[in-house]
A and B are shown apart, each in its own frame.
Chain A
Amino acid sequence: DAKTTQPNSMESNEEEPVHLPCNHSTISGTDYIHWYRQLPSQGPEYVIHGLTSNVNNRMASLAIAEDRKSSTLILHRATLRDAAVYYCILRDVGSQGNLIFGKGTKLSVKP
Chain B
Amino acid sequence: ETGVTQSPTHLIKTRGQQVTLRCSSQSGHNTVSWYQQALGQGPQFIFQYYREEENGRGNFPPRFSGLQFPNYSSELNVNALELDDSALYLCASSTLPGWDTDTQYFGPGTRLTVL
- Decide whether A and B are members of one complex: yes
Residue positions of A touching B, CB distance < 8 A: 30-32, 41-46, 49, 51, 85, 87, 91-93, 95-104
CA distance A8 to B105 in the complex (A): 24
- Residue numbers in A under 8 Å from B33 (CB-CB): 97-99
Q: Is the CB of A43 within 8 A of B90?
A: yes
List 24 contacting pairs A-B, 8 Å CB cutoff, sorted by A: A30-B100, A31-B100, A32-B100, A32-B101, A43-B106, A43-B108, A44-B43, A44-B90, A44-B106, A45-B106, A46-B104, A49-B101, A87-B42, A93-B98, A93-B100, A96-B56, A97-B33, A97-B48, A97-B94, A97-B97, A97-B102, A98-B58, A99-B104, A102-B42
Given contacts A30-B100, A43-B108, 10 further A-B contacts (CB under 8 A): A32-B101, A85-B42, A87-B42, A95-B98, A96-B48, A97-B97, A97-B102, A98-B45, A98-B58, A102-B42
The 10 closest A-B pairs by CB, nearest first: A101-B42, A43-B106, A97-B97, A96-B56, A98-B45, A32-B100, A46-B103, A101-B43, A44-B106, A43-B90
CA distance A80 to B73 in the complex (A): 34
Mask: chain B, 22-37; 1 = CB below 8 Å from A; 0 = not: 0000000001010100
CA distance A95 to B101 in the complex (A): 11
SS of B interface (majority):
loop
Interface residue count on the B side (C-beta < 8 Å): 32
SS of A interface (majority):
loop
